[in-house]
Amino acid sequence: MVSRRQFLQLTGLSPLLATASCSKPTPEQTVAGSSVNPTVNKPNVLFICIDDLNDWIGSLRGHPQAKTPNIDRLMSSGVNFTNAHCSAPICSASRNSLLTGLKPSTTGWYTNAKFEHSVDDILKDIPTLPEHFKNNGYKTMAGGKVFHTGVSDYRHHQWHETLPEYVITNEYLLGRGYGYGRYGNKDHKYYPFPKDGGQIVQTLGPDTRGKSLCWGALDRKDIPHNGVMPDEYIANWAIKQLQQTHQQPFFLAAGFIRPHSPFTAPKEYFDLFPLEQVQMPEIIDDEMADIPLYGKAMALGIIDGGDHAAVTQVSDSFWRELVRANLACIAFVDDQVGKLLDALEAGPNSANTLVMLWSDHGQNFGEHRNWRKMTLWQESTHVPFVIRLPGQTQGKACPQAVSLLDIYPTLTALCQLPAVDTNEGLSLASLCAEPSLERAQPAVSTWGYKNHAVITETWRYIQYRDGSEELYHNIDDPNQHYNLANTPEYQAVKNALQIWLPKHNQLPPGMSEFTGDFLEQRINQWQQANGVPDWLS
């Protein structure tokens, strides 16, 4: 393993590299090229959302052993945006940004905190994405996790039809989760848990926070609803909608749960990945040495003492077991995607349906000693994102950095709906026609108040709210081991990327001034105790 100094010498990176691609466009400039030709009939939309799916996809090469033949075939027949990033690396903030067309720095919705009380003040008359389709003649249908808690977190009138929530009545199966999520009468979409509650519970006790960081290869008898997982329940419902003839164009959203933790799936998917053959993510010993304090605080995780410390405490093999479990859960959800694609292609709506697939954010598996999302590194922000237009069979890849914030204006353009002036993303309609067209604007991902990552094809620049920085060369250092931010010759690169940082950062709802959040709490605890844990040093 080369040292950081050797890395700089070997690569000879120039501060002028790729700065041209960061030039700021004029306000009216979006993507160069002509507009998409209108079609006679408005297309249907199959809107496939997947929870916590990182780039462990065959076509994205995030993990060499990923088995995703169905997502791969969609990507090979559509436009595969290989460098797509969430606008926030956490469920609620990401989905609300995507579905409202607004940046987290505009709304102040940065986390999973409850914010329903602020919706009317912030959105006013701005329609959500499904509302906009409903208001313009589409039949809107949804099942599973589309918003954070389900089909709707607010404005529950935006759907014509919805799938009832997956509810578990078996107290034994419910009890395995030890109160995870909204344990009670509903919202059991993340279940089932392993038979014994999971490895974290067994090691640290049932009151431990972060207990969902566990895995289980389940027999069908260990799964509620006569062996039907929540994602299978969602897929079965969506298939029925795709098999029907509808009197108006439809917008059908299917929100799958896996590979969100707990990493449980039917046993046959684990059998695809023998444990001893599982390849591990690339890690270096001094991975955290050049990470600023705020980055370390993000990586700490949820479990008391830190997620990484807990993982290594469970057993010597637990890290590998979790990597295997994620591969298994991804293979499982890929099968559900395949069912939908098969039903669409065999049904009455195949000729005029646009298919879009995306994930709300990524997921780390020990990289940078992180075990969740909720950081501004590649593993947390990079997501699969593909658009297949009606009748399209020839796949194209677009390597330019795009944002999930672009989804709202893109679908509006492709389906010939009125533009929504408040949309802060850029339409990708021209890139769907010609992926090689130049896009000047990078992607920006935000985690918490005034913490941002600016991402281009070549660079990732991170600035935390205290002004500390990280800079990575995506081509020569794809795993982001070597922080170049404090190397003087890259000041020009940082200057070019800094112009894309949000000029306005809205305070979180309810705050009249920023008084800190969980990051400051963690840093203060370290300062009052024995400093940063050794494994984060």
Active site residues: 91, 148
Q: 423, 106 in Cβ contact below 8 A?
A: no
**Of 215, 315, 229, 331, which is closest to residue 273 (Cα–Cα)?**
331
CA distance to 205, 302, 389, 534, per residue, from 530 (Å)? 25, 19, 56, 10
How many residues are there in the chain? Answer: 537
Pairing outcome for strands 452-455 and 459-463: antiparallel
Q: What is the 3-state secondary structure (H, E, C) of 169-198?
A: CCHHHHHCCCCCCCCCCCCCCCCCCCCCCC
Distance between CA atoms of 71 and 69, rounded to whole angstroms? 6
Contact indicator for 132, 251 with CB cutoff of 8 Å = no
Question: What is the residue whose two structure tokens read 């931010």?
Answer: 485
**What residue type is 177 in one-letter code?**
G
DSSP letter string over 367-420?
GGG--SS-SSSHHHHEE-EEEE-TT--S-EEE-S-EEGGGHHHHHHHHTTPPP-
Angle at 55 between CA 50 and CA 60, to 5 degrees: 120
Q: Are 206 and 183 in contact (CB under 8 A)?
A: no
Q: Which amino acid is at 45?
A: V
CA distance 171 to 298: 35
